[in-house]
A = this chain, B = another copy of it.
Amino acid sequence: MRVPDTTVNRILWSIPNVLCLIGSRSGDEWNGMTASWVTQVAMEPVLVAVSIDRKAVTHRLIEEGGAFTVNLWAREDTRPFVKFSKPATLADGALNGHQVRTGATGAPIFEESVAYLDCTVWRSIDCGTHTLFLGEVVDCAFGNDADRPVARMEDTRMKYGGVRRGGH
């Protein structure tokens, strides 16, 4: 592609995306991870796609556990997203201090989420730098306060995507 990286990045960053926490688990290892490449992709089966960096802890936990949760978050509380960009700390039934419970798939669900989708991995697609996990929704529910608007990337100063840094 002959387009300058800076242009490619600006265009890709301008695609509006959700900002949420992905829950994953393998045995005693639990994690929560900030993610934005998330969208529904089919109605029957009900499939949700999440693309995860191959180097992320969450990538290994989803592969090993065969499941993940998508935790939609309130847009007025974007503080957790920076911290969940690194591997999370599990203590006293909480990830980075945010209480979780075990979902139907075994993956963690954040008690504070506006809503969650609990998914089993239906198919994994190797996409180079990332793996696209297609999850079949097996359970979902709203949290205590369902009417909170959902966080998105533009609510923060974070950016994600574009070309691989140092990749050219």
Cβ B137 vs Cβ A1 within 8 A: yes
| A137 cross-chain contacts in B, Cβ below 8 A | 1, 8
**Proximity bits, A115-138, B CB within 8 Å = 1, else 0:** 101000001010111101010011
Other A-B pairs beyond A11-B141, A16-B16, A41-B130, 12, CB < 8 Å = A1-B139, A7-B140, A10-B142, A15-B38, A17-B39, A37-B40, A40-B161, A41-B49, A41-B127, A47-B127, A49-B51, A125-B125
Verify A44–B128 contact, CB threshold 8 A: yes
A141 to B: closest C-beta gap in Å = 7
Q: Separation in Å of the A14 CB from the closest CB of chain B?
A: 5
Q: Does A82 reach chain B (CB closer than 8 Å)?
A: no
CB < 8 Å neighbour of A115 from B1, B11, B41, B129: B11
For the complex, count residues of A whose C-beta is within 8 A of B: 54
Question: Is A129 within 8 A of B42, CB to CB?
Answer: yes
Chain B residue contacts of A47, Cβ below 8 A = 127-128
Cβ of B18 and Cβ of A167 under 8 Å apart? no
Residue A3 is within 8 A (CB to CB) of chain B in the complex:
yes
Q: Given the complex of chains A and B, what is the CA–CA distance between A8 and B123 in angstroms?
A: 21
A98 contacts the other chain (CB 8 A) = no
Chain B CB within 8 A of A72 CB = yes
Least Cβ distance of A155 to chain B in Å?
10
- A114-B14, A137-B1, A150-B16 given as contacts; is B49 within 8 A of A132 (CB)? yes
Contact of A51 among B17, B41, B45 (CB under 8 A): B41
Contact flag A152-B16 (CB < 8 Å), given A37-B41, A38-B39, A43-B161? yes
